[in-house]
Amino acid sequence: MLRLNFLLIAIVLASALGAVASQHKARKLFSELEREQERMRSLEVEWGQLQLEQSTWAAHARIEKIARERLRMKPPAAGQVLAVEAAK
């Protein structure tokens, strides 16, 4: 009888410790998940900012200015245009 009681106490203790350990593990994993989600959000924000930056650099006004002033480009005059027709 006494031996059985000791055995039961051991089992209960083991299961209690197991519960504690798994709870701890779950929380660690959860906080890791939380961190990754936070990272996802900040990457999304960064993506939006990069898109914004890209469209600011690619603004038509800026491109036109660079093309005209730095690269000295201009639209072709009517006589300089060559139209390519597909063979009929």
Partner 1 sequence: MKFTNSPLLSQLLPAWRARFVAALILLAFGTLAARSVWLQAVHNDFLQQKGESRYARVIEMPATRGRITDRSGDMLAVSTPVKSVWAIPEDARLAPAQARELAALLEMDVRELNRRLAAEKDFVFVKRQIPPDVAERIGALGLPGIHQSREYRRYYPAGEVTSHMLGFTGVEDRGQEGIELAFEGQLAGKPGSRRVIKDRRGRIVEDVESIKPPQDGKDITLALDAKVQYLAFTHLKQALAEHKAKAGGVVVLDARTGEVLALANLPAYNPNNRVRLSGAQLRNRALTDVFEPGSTLKPFTAALALEKGRFRFDSQIQTAPGRLTIGNATIHDAHPHGLLTLAQVIQKSSNVGVAKIAATFSPEEMWRMFDDIGFGQPIRLGFPGEVGGRLRPFKTWRPIEQATMSYGHGISVTLMQLARAYLVFARDGDLIPLSLTRLDSPPVAGKSIFSSQTARELRAMLEMAVQPGGTAPKAQIPGYRVAGKTGTAHKLEGGQYADRYVAAFVGFAPVSEPRLVVAVMIDEPGNGKYYGGEVAAPVFAQVMAGSLRTLGVAPDAPLKPVQVAREAAAVPESL
Is 27 a residue that touches partner 1 (CB under 8 A)?
yes
Residue placing its CB nearer to partner 1 in the complex, 7 or 31: 31
- Stretch of residues binding partner 1 (CB under 8 A), selected from 1-9, 10-18, 66-74, 80-88: 80-88
CA–CA separation, 18 and 37 (whole Å)? 28
Q: Which is nearer to partner 1, 16 or 63 (CB)?
A: 63
Contact 33, 27 (CB under 8 A): no
DSSP 8-state code for residue 71: S
Hey, is 87 helix, strand or coil? coil
Long-range contacts of 79-85 (CB under 8 A, 24+ apart): none
Q: Contact between 49 and partner 1 (CB under 8 A)?
A: yes
- Residues interacting with partner 1, by CB under 8 A? 27, 30-31, 34, 44-45, 48-49, 51-52, 54-56, 58-61, 64, 78-79, 81-87
